[in-house]
Amino acid sequence: MEAKKRFKLYKSGKLWCCAAVAFGVMAFGTVNGQADDATPATTTSQVSAATSQVATPADATDSTTNATPESTVTAGTQTSGIAANDKTTAAATTTLNVQQASAAPVNANAVTTAAYAATNNLSTADTIDISAYQPNISEETFRQYHNQGINNVVVKLSESTGWTNGCAQQQVSRAQAAGMTVSAYHFVRFTTAAQAQAEAQLFARMARAVGLGNDTLMIADVESVPQTQYAGIVNNLNVFWQTLSSLGFTNHGVYTGLYYDRQYNVSSTVGKARTWVAAYGNFRNAVQGYGAWQYTDNWNGTNIDASIDFGMFANYAGHQTTSAANLDNFSINANNNTLDVAGWFADNNNQGKGNRYVILLDQDNGNRELVRQKVNAVSRPDVTNAYPDIYGTGNSGFNASFALTGSLADAIANGHHIRVLIRYTSSGDGNSDYNDHTFDGTILNKNVAYLDNMTTSAAGIYVAGWHAADQSINRPYHYVILYDATTKSEIARQQIDSINRKDVERVNPDVYNSANSGFSTNFTMNSALRTALQNGDAIQAISRYTADSDGN
């Protein structure tokens, strides 16, 4: 007796897409990710007579939006651009789109506060302040805020004599990389001169730790809390300033409430022009003469404090940006079978470090190094125009291409976040005396498909189409499966040889295996298929890439 093989339709670790047919009416869609759901999810549109058509770039829907790397990957819906004919509506392909940054010339001051507010009917805020309550703001998000007119970010570094903001380092570096001016604040709780001195020392240590220079605007947050409600607060605040100055930080400012300042006059220690006052509501006339006005704790629904600068930040925060970076491209090149990376990184600390490496890390595996490549400098005059005061902007660009093999291919296939690290170093091997910038991790998981033809006849069902997916890397077996979604049972499966589809590659050049994504197969009529058709069951065609030779 012949040994029977038991097939499993759903198992973690496969990429698949499916199509449905009932009484000759067909529909098709793809599903991204793991296939261990109880039933396959489908996004469908009705197709009556689909025929194959060569795709052109004009047909393609652009799924790439501007984003900055340290930022992020977002879910979206991509529509396949290869339509059969005017009467056929292409199925909507549900996928997670890798967002890439535009390679357009950089302009650090592309949107001014006044211009943005006038044209977009938003607030006139140009300054926000953040603390540990906003721990995960990405560089991309900071750049979006910058494009909405936010020029200044004030980061909380410390409080009292012991608390420090564990998120401050990334908040400072990401805001600076997005082209924003960064200042710092310390929440005051001192009641004695000795405590004021200790708090200033903590504030200065944190500023050094996060890389802020001596010209940074250092702000004392003096609010109406029990510890600060005493007549001698001004004297102790002056001790705080004296201690900061002795440690090299001589650029001072005060943040306080309008009514608190009227009672305790803490603004007198630095002058009103250097005082940032909080008064929520219609207090614009009351805050005239102050350097800045915090008017809301929920800027545009973000739960972030926002302020209007009357000159305090423009005049005293300076333009102390010492580092900036952007990832212009991070995408698969289907034609070359590579992962292409391009961007720029400029930093005052890069001086004397003539060698450059682009290193890829597996964020989901302890930031383990996957591969590295030594690269040459690329001229970027646009970066110099935007950041003329940062060292090395003119040759801050980099390009690299990595073969989709080995541990890199494994990480992509497993859906891991891939991080790009650009390193300047004086050493030949790149392992000592270096300065790094690391961008946020990205999952490469584009998954696109289209059903060109699904025809029933007395002989069976003919299925043809294409399916390209980033995570089909290391999944060499391609199966097409007929599945009865009504009875939740498999009808038949066939392993197929992928067909060359250069038309698909032209439309999807950044999706792995798009050039060899085609499939075409006949399913012979059998009792299960005949019964399903007679009962009007929903029959799905599933395209699956798997590492299992049986297709499981």
496 vs 388: CA distance, rounded Å: 57
As a whole number, the mean pLDDT across the chain is 80
Instruction: Return the higher-pLDDT residue of 406 and 117.
Output: 406
The 10 Å Cβ neighbour count of residue 10 is 16
SS3 state at 327 = strand
How confident is the model at residue 388, as a pLDDT?
A: 79
The tens digit of pLDDT for each residue in 79-104 reads 232 222 222 222 222 222 222 222 23
336 closest CA partner among 415, 410, 404: 404
Q: How confident is residue 16, by pLDDT bands cut at 50, 70 and 90?
A: low
Q: How confident is residue 385, by pLDDT bands cut at 50, 70 and 90?
A: confident
Helical residues (DSSP H) of 152-272, grouped into ranges: 168-177, 193-209, 233-246, 258-264
38: pLDDT strictly greater than 80: no
The 10 Å Cβ neighbour count of residue 348 is 14
Cβ atoms 411, 365 nearer than 8 A: yes
Supply 512's token pair. Answer: 């792995």
At 363, the amino acid letter reads Q
Q: How confident is residue 386, by pLDDT bands cut at 50, 70 and 90?
A: confident
Mean pLDDT on 54-78: 28
How confident is the model at residue 55, as a pLDDT?
A: 33
Supply 372's token pair. Answer: 């590295």
How confident is the model at residue 320, as a pLDDT?
A: 58
Q: What is the 3-state secondary structure (H, E, C) of 343-361?
A: EEEEEHHHCCCCEEEEEEE
Instruction: Return the higher-pLDDT residue of 355 and 10.
Output: 355
199 vs 240: CA distance, rounded Å: 7
How confident is the model at residue 321, as a pLDDT?
A: 62
How confident is the model at residue 272, as a pLDDT?
A: 94
516 vs 338: CA distance, rounded Å: 15
58 vs 256: CA distance, rounded Å: 57
How confident is the model at residue 398, as a pLDDT?
A: 98
At 326, the amino acid letter reads N
Helical residues (DSSP H) of 184-327, grouped into ranges: 193-209, 233-246, 258-264, 312
How confident is the model at residue 10, as a pLDDT?
A: 38
Encode 488-517: b = buried (16+ Cβ within 10 Å), e = exposed.
Answer: eeebbbbebebeebebbbbbbbbbbbbbbb
The contacts of residue 309 (CB under 8 Å, 6+ apart) are 126, 127, 151, 152, 291, 292
How confident is the model at residue 427, as a pLDDT?
A: 92
22: pLDDT strictly greater than 60: no
Q: Give helix 193-209 / helix 233-246 axis angle, nearest 10°.
A: 40
CA distances from 73 to 65, 146, 338 (A): 11, 19, 20
How confident is the model at residue 242, as a pLDDT?
A: 97
Strands 152-159 and 518-524: unpaired
Q: What percent of the chain has pLDDT over 90?
A: 67
The 10 Å Cβ neighbour count of residue 36 is 11
The tens digit of pLDDT for each residue in 172-227 reads 999 988 889 999 999 999 999 999 999 999 999 999 999 888 889 999 999 989 99
Supply 346's token pair. Answer: 């400029």
30: pLDDT strictly greater than 70: no
CA distances from 442 to 75, 178, 327 (A): 12, 18, 11
How confident is the model at residue 284, as a pLDDT?
A: 83
424 vs 461: CA distance, rounded Å: 58
Cβ atoms 193, 236 nearer than 8 A: yes
386 vs 397: CA distance, rounded Å: 14
Supply 181's token pair. Answer: 């001016």
Mean pLDDT on 155-169: 96
328 vs 324: CA distance, rounded Å: 13
374: pLDDT strictly greater than 90: yes
Mean pLDDT on 162-166: 95
The tens digit of pLDDT for each residue in 320-331 reads 567 789 999 999
Q: Which DSSP state fits 440? A: P
Instruction: Return the higher-pLDDT residue of 319 and 439.
Output: 439
Domains parsed from the chain with CATH numbers: 15-99+447-546 (no CATH), 113-317 (3.20.20.80), 325-438 (2.60.40)
Least confident range from 119-123, 488-492, 524-528: namely 119-123
SS3 state at 307 = strand
297: pLDDT strictly greater than 60: yes
Structural element, H or E, at residue 506: helix 502-507
